[in-house]
């Protein structure tokens, strides 16, 4: 696909809301966007700036998110972390969104893109990678979302972890309250694995709220649909790994907890998802049923349930597909369930070799929008590039970058097939990774290649070398299976993907990469110290947005505020919470919803 680079987007400014201010003329903002005038300033001081207007008037207009009006919400001061509760997180998130002007939004539709593990380093590297694929130097290129007018930073920590996991982070986005690592859409009061605690602390999710508001809902992912990110949309679990009933602990079974796949299908929130596309079909079929694509595999369920048939019963006319041919033939006016692998879908690089054929993330996104947009009340759609994370865990930057480009293609589809007048699109990541961007490579240096330039700021144009005169790559990992010491499965030296190392021996210096093709798809970047799987990072991730309410996306915010940005910017969602008397006098939803009041049969994760 030919990708046109688009330019001219400018970040929305993070205006503070703690003092009244004058509104600057647009022309004056173009020269001095950082200046805020307070009432205490004399009018004669303001007048002195009018002389600057002539110089500003010659500048071309910039594409920016419109300024949003701030609404104040009081939040109780607490001592962290012991004073934190789900209710406190919910109100604090609502206050931040309202202060940023999210209440000005008038979105009908919402599309949330999650690049799982898509750190800012990943975004920068993928931008250069695609730009170089298109024949340019790469650094000046833009991914699809980098032209959007609003951007900010997201703090990702869980309530119990400095470096988070995907379950806790997606739960924050889905429910408006931060929570623990390893759990799905339950409050932090329940410990991981505590079934009884989880049943007492479910949190209403954005997708459940949309469903009871008569909006369409959809989930698209390249992971299994019961994985952490998609699983947080319509399920509530004390353990992210309870994807089917066979994975439930005996205690969890006895205490009435239900697996994630069953919750996704049997949700009491109206009909649940209208479109669900991804992998993970083993979790939906009984163990006695053979997989249609792989003769040596079967369903994983021990309870004998066929959850696909149950979903079709709840969605008369709904279509189930498991390969590309069926996907392409599916009617556009019917609900769609697509499960394209027993586990996760293929990496984008490997997808052309799939035996039954899989649709791309962009194709699945287009299919979801086509179907969901038939609902006159609007829709809420999640699209996850889930395998960016898996490639990073595997120490393979090539696949991580290719999957990031696949996410960019999907965002481009959404941008082109929806209107910024009624559709809010947000792109973010759930957490970071330890991918590093190092050295002083020259402009246009292959992003997966060895550094040519220097190890200092004086560039030579030759291969840069370290302190022991060995070349090194621009990209590397702080930890992971790319460690160059010998392991139980590969000898000392550069590692080849896939490699899950154990029983490492200490590396004796660094390998000589002079004759190694570090741009090869299976090359694994060096890791500073060995782990069988590379870890997440705890640094902030980016968020980008366009459409109604996007002006509220700016500055540095907690991850749970994303939920509130969306709800406040979408009148139908906001009004449903206000109808339940959860709003303050200014109409901001500030009280933590009780799921039982929205779907009585969904009082706990054990609801049938």
Write out the catalytic residue numbers: 166
CA–CA dist 401, 325 (Å, integer): 27
143 neighbors 9 (Cβ within 8 angstroms): no
217 neighbors 274 (Cβ within 8 angstroms): yes
393 neighbors 480 (Cβ within 8 angstroms): yes
DSSP state of 452: B
Give residue for tokens 């380093």: 121
Give residue for tokens 């303050």: 584
H helices of 101-205, in order, are: 120-133, 166-175, 195-199
CA–CA dist 255, 200 (Å, integer): 12
- Four-CA torsion 488, 494, 497, 501, nearest 10 degrees: 20
CB atoms within 10 A of CB 303: 15
DSSP of 525-553, one letter per residue?
Answer: --EEEE-SSPPEE-S-EEEEEESTTGGG-
Whether the ω angle into residue 81 lies within 30 degrees of 0, i.e. cis, is yes
CA–CA dist 559, 429 (Å, integer): 10
Whether the ω angle into residue 55 lies within 30 degrees of 0, i.e. cis, is no
Interstrand relation of 319-321 and 336-339 (parallel, antiparallel or unpaired): parallel
The sign one gets for the Cα dihedral 126, 131, 134, 136 is negative
């Amino acid at each position: 696909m030919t990708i046109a680079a688009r330019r001219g987007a400018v970040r929305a400014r993070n205006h503070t809301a703690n003092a009244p201010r004058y509104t600057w003329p647009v022309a004056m903002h173009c020269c001095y966007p950082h200046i805020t005038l307070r009432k205490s300033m004399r009018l004669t001081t303001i007048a002195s700036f009018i002389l600057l207007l002539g110089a500003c008037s010659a500048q071309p207009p910039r594409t920016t998110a419109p300024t949003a009006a701030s609404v104040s919400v009081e939040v109780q001061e607490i001592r962290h972390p012991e004073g934190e509760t789900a209710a406190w997180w919910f109100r604090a998130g609502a206050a931040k969104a309202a202060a940023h002007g999210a209440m000005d939004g008038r979105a009908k539709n919402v599309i949330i893109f999650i690049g799982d593990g898509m750190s800012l380093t990943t975004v920068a590297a993928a931008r250069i990678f695609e730009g170089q694929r298109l024949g340019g130097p790469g650094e000046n290129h833009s991914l699809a979302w980098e032209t959007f007018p609003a951007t900010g930073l997201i703090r990702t920590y869980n309530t119990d972890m400095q470096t988070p996991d995907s379950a806790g982070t997606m739960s924050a986005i889905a429910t408006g309250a931060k929570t623990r690592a390893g759990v799905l859409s339950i409050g932090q009061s329940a410990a991981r694995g505590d079934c009884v605690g989880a049943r007492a602390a479910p949190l209403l999710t954005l997708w459940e709220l949309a469903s009871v508001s008569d909006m369409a809902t959809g989930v698209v992912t390249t992971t299994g649909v019961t994985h952490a990110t998609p699983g947080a949309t319509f399920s509530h679990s004390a353990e992210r790994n309870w994807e089917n009933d066979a994975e439930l602990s005996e205690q969890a079974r006895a205490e009435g907890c239900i697996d994630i796949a069953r919750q996704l299908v049997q949700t009491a929130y109206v009909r649940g998802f209208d479109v669900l596309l991804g992998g993970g079909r083993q979790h939906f079929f009984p163990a006695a049923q053979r997989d249609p694509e792989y003769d040596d595999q079967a369903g994983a369920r021990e309870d004998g349930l066929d959850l696909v048939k149950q979903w079709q019963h709840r969605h008369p006319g709904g279509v189930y597909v498991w390969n590309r041919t069926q996907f392409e033939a599916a009617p556009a006016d019917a609900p769609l369930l697509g499960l394209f692998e027993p586990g996760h879908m293929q990496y984008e690089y490997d997808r052309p070799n799939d035996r039954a054929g899989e649709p791309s993330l962009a194709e699945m996104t287009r299919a979801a929008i086509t179907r969901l947009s038939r609902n006159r009340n609007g829709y809420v759609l999640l699209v996850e590039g889930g395998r960016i994370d898996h490639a990073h865990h595997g120490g393979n930057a090539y696949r991580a970058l290719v999957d990031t480009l696949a996410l960019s293609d999907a965002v481009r589809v959404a941008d082109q097939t929806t209107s910024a007048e009624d559709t809010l699109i947000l792109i973010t990541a759930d957490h970071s990774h330890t991918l590093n961007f190092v050295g002083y490579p020259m402009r246009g240096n292959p992003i997966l290649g060895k550094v040519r330039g220097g190890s200092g700021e004086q560039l030579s144009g030759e291969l840069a070398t370290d302190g022991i005169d060995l070349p090194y790559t621009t990209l590397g990992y702080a930890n992971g299976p790319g460690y160059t010491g010998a392991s139980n499965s590969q000898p000392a030296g550069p590692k080849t993907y896939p490699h899950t190392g154990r029983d490492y021996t200490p590396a004796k210096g660094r390998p000589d990469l002079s004759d190694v093709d570090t741009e090869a798809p299976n090359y694994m970047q060096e890791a500073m110290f060995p782990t069988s799987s590379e870890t997440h990072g705890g640094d902030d991730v980016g968020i980008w947005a366009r459409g109604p309410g996007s002006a509220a996306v700016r500055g540095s915010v907690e991850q749970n505020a994303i939920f509130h940005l969306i709800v406040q910017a979408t009148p139908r969602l906001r009004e449903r919470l206000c109808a339940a008397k959860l709003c303050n006098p200014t109409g901001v939803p500030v009280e933590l919803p009780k799921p039982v009041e929205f779907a009585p049969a969904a009082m706990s994760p054990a609801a049938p």
